[in-house]
């Protein structure tokens, strides 16, 4: 089969990690006989430099016409002085919105070989960690009304409205329930229903859906408690379902448990098989161009693409297994390095992973 992939390398370490993800896809194509056609698109700072726009229309059109999108990372100090609506990050936010990518899946898995890179005590992670954060991605406070106004004695005031409609909650909750059904069968829906009206609607809506998924256990948790429970006893979580802002925060927290944010892939879905795949980490300009960045997050994102957009589960597992082997053989990029391990750079770990896909 032939699959078309829109590729936005982006800024900072983006191009480096995407090169390795493509190396892996090329390897999969060679071993399994699939054809991947890559279409390069501009997004973020790279797009601003060339076209003066963070997300040119051409990029949106090419993404829409592809089977999936692979994205590196956007942003960097170079564009910090720009007003909010012109910043590289708007490329990401607009792409999510334009492509209708309402469900963001962020797995946080602790590879056994990396237990010593996890900042939590051995006793806390002894049962392993295998969590998926399902984050609503096109609504909530990120996309509610925003503004700045004069506020009398208090000076200038600025606001961002948190708003969720029932159907926005339902569609992302369905993704979480379907996922939980194939995993350990537990959802923790995270909100702040003791304070926020939007959270009360969120909670009611998710509860009402639960009846349709008899094999799945649903619990609700306040976000402050969830932030604490994640580091106190991460083993209690299977699927965490939450809104855009809480999901942004909790997925970073869940991420660090896996040893490094450099290990974390993500997928964002609209209805159907179309998806955008990107590492959770940012553009890390401080280490860009130094062959230091860990490409595993991008590589595992490509594996998610194989599984979810192309239905190639066997191929996805082969990639994941190859990553595991390389870690088991003690190869480490700087972010996960500890004494006595084998230090490797971005390109070398990419090559080692590719070699192990047979």
Nearest to 70 by CA among 24, 1, 31: 24
Shortest distance, position 326 Cβ to ligand IPM, whole Å? 26
Looking at the Cβ atoms of 92 and 226, the one nearer to ligand IPM is 92
User: HEC states along 98-136?
Assistant: HCCCCEEEEEEECCHHHHHHCCCCHHHHCCCCEEEEEEE
Looking at the Cβ atoms of 239 and 254, the one nearer to ligand IPM is 254
Q: Is 92 in the site for ligand IPM (CB under 6 A)?
A: yes
Question: 347 — phi, psi (to 5°)?
Answer: -70, -40
Q: Which stretch binds ligand IPM (CB under 6 A): 35-43, 86-94, 114-122, 228-236?
A: 86-94
Q: CB-side exposure of 92: number of CA atoms within 13 Å? A: 24
By a kind-dependent CB cut-off of 5 to 8 A, residue 315 interacts, out of Mn ion, ligand IPM, none, with: none
CA 319, 323, 329, 333 dihedral sign is positive
Distance, in Å, from the CA atom of 314 to the CA atom of 316, rounded to the nearest integer, reads 5
Among positions 191, 238, 248, 335, the unique one binding Mn ion when judged by CB under 5 A: 248
Which residue has the CB atom at the shortest distance from ligand IPM? 89
Looking at the Cβ atoms of 248 and 315, the one nearer to ligand IPM is 248
Which residue has the CB atom at the shortest distance from Mn ion? 248
> What is the three-class DSSP state of 189?
strand
Q: Which stretch binds ligand IPM (CB under 6 A): 8-16, 85-93, 174-182, 213-221?
A: 85-93
The token pair at 77 is: 């100090």
Looking at the Cβ atoms of 92 and 302, the one nearer to ligand IPM is 92
By a kind-dependent CB cut-off of 5 to 8 A, residue 92 interacts, out of Mn ion, ligand IPM, none, with: ligand IPM
Question: 85 — phi, psi (to 5°)?
Answer: -75, 0
Q: Cα dihedral angle (119, 121, 126, 130), rounded to 10 degrees?
A: -30
Among positions 11, 89, 162, 168, the unique one binding ligand IPM when judged by CB under 6 A: 89
Can you point out the beta strands (E) in the chain? 2-10, 35-41, 68-73, 103-109, 130-136, 146-150, 156-160, 186-191, 217-222, 239-242, 265-269, 275-279, 331-332, 342-343
Q: How many helices (H) and strands (E) does the chain have?
A: 11, 14
Q: Is 136 in the site for ligand IPM (CB under 6 A)?
A: no
For residue 95, what are the contacts with CB-CB under 8 A and spacing of at least 6?
43, 55, 59, 60, 63, 69, 71, 101, 276
Distance, in Å, from the CA atom of 27 to the CA atom of 19, rounded to the nearest integer, reads 12
Shortest distance, position 138 Cβ to ligand IPM, whole Å? 11
Q: Would you give the DSSP letter of residue 211?
A: T
Looking at the Cβ atoms of 3 and 164, the one nearer to ligand IPM is 164
Shortest distance, position 135 Cβ to ligand IPM, whole Å? 8
Q: Which stretch binds Mn ion (CB under 5 A): 197-205, 243-251, 320-328, 342-350?
A: 243-251
Looking at the Cβ atoms of 28 and 103, the one nearer to Mn ion is 103
Shortest distance, position 343 Cβ to ligand IPM, whole Å? 28
Among positions 11, 136, 191, 248, the unique one binding ligand IPM when judged by CB under 6 A: 248
Q: Which stretch binds Mn ion (CB under 5 A): 118-126, 143-151, 247-255, 349-357?
A: 247-255
Nearest to 324 by CA among 346, 300, 351, 302: 300
Q: Which stretch binds Mn ion (CB under 5 A): 31-39, 64-72, 124-132, 244-252?
A: 244-252
Looking at the Cβ atoms of 243 and 350, the one nearer to ligand IPM is 243
Catalytic residues, by residue number, are 142, 192, 224, 248, 252
Interface ranges with ligand IPM (CB under 6 A): 89, 92-93, 248
Interface ranges with Mn ion (CB under 5 A): 248
């Amino acid at each position: 089969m032939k699959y078309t992939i829109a590729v936005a390398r982006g800024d900072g370490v983006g191009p480096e990690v995407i090169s390795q993800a493509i190396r892996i896809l090329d390897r999969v194509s060679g071993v399994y006989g699939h054809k991947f056609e890559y279409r390069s698109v501009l997004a973020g700072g790279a797009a601003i430099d060339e076209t003066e726009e963070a997300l040119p229309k051409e990029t949106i059109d090419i993404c829409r016409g592809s089977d999936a999108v692979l994205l590196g990372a956007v942003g960097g100090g170079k564009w910090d002085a720009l007003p909010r609506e012109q910043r590289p990050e708007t490329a990401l936010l607009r792409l999510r919105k334009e492509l209708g990518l309402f469900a963001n899946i962020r797995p946080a898995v602790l590879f056994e070989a990396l237990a010593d890179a996890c900042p939590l005590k051995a006793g806390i992670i002894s049962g392993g960690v295998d969590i998926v954060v399902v984050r609503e991605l096109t609504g909530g406070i990120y996309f509610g009304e925003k503004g700045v106004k004069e506020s009398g004695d208090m000076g200038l005031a600025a606001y961002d409205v948190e708003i969720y409609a029932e159907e926005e909650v339902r569609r992302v909750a369905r993704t979480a329930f379907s996922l939980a059904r194939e995993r350990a069968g537990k959802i923790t829906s995270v909100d702040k229903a003791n304070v926020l009206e939007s959270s009360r609607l969120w909670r009611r809506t998710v509860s009402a859906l639960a009846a349709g998924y008899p094999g799945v256990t649903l619990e609700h948790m306040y976000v402050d408690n969830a932030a604490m429970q994640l580091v106190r006893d991460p083993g209690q979580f299977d699927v965490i379902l939450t809104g855009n802002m809480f999901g942004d925060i909790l997925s970073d927290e869940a991420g660090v448990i896996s040893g490094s944010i450099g290990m974390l892939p993500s997928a964002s879905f609209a209805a159907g098989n179309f998806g955008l795949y990107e590492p959770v980490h940012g553009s890390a300009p401080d280490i860009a161009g130094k062959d230091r960045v860990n490409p595993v997050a991008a590589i595992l994102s490509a594996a998610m693409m194989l599984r979810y957009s192309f239905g190639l589960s066997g191929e996805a597992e082969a990639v994941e297994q190859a990553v595991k082997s390389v870690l088991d053989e003690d190869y480490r990029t700087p972010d996960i390095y500890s004494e006595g391990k084998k230090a490797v750079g971005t390109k070398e770990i990419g090559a080692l992973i590719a070699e192990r896909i047979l």
